Every structure is written in structure tokens, then in C-alpha cells.
Amino acid sequence: MLPLLPVLLKRPEADVALMLRHALDIIYQRGLYSLLIDYTQEPPPPLLSESERA
């Protein structure tokens, strides 16, 4: 479960809580990631080798 994140707003507006899980679900759906990424395939190898990343 992802946390609720406080969003501090400028007065006189009241602070609000951002439901992170809900926000990420909406981004995933609207971004059509399920159509862009084939989750049945292995991910591609890293662009850099381990020695290059160090």
C-alpha cells in the first residue's frame, strides 16, 4: 500500500492529501503503458555494464 502524501497549499486553501496509489493508477491508464510495454517478455538488458555503472 502506498502512503497518502500531504500537499501543502497556500493559505487560505486547506492542505490536502494526495492518494499516491490512485494517482499512479490514473497515470498508468491514461498513459496507455499496458499497450506500450509487453509484460510477457523479459526486460531489455541495462544500457551500461556493471563496471560502467560503478
Domain boundaries along the sequence of the chain: 1-36
**CA geometry: angle at 35 spanning 29 and 36, to 5°?**
105
Q: How many CB atoms lie within 10 A of CB 20?
A: 13
The answer to whether residue 37 scores a pLDDT higher than 90 is no
Average pLDDT over residues 10-37: 91
- Are the C-beta atoms of residues 24 and 2 closer than 8 Å to each other? yes
Average pLDDT over residues 28-38: 85
Task: Report yes or no on whether pTM surpasses 0.75.
Answer: no
Which residues 6+ apart lie within 8 Å of 17 measured at CB?
4, 5, 6, 7
The answer to whether residue 52 scores a pLDDT higher than 90 is no
Instruction: For the chain, give the mean pLDDT.
Output: 89
- Are the C-beta atoms of residues 15 and 8 closer than 8 Å to each other? yes
Average pLDDT over residues 42-52: 82
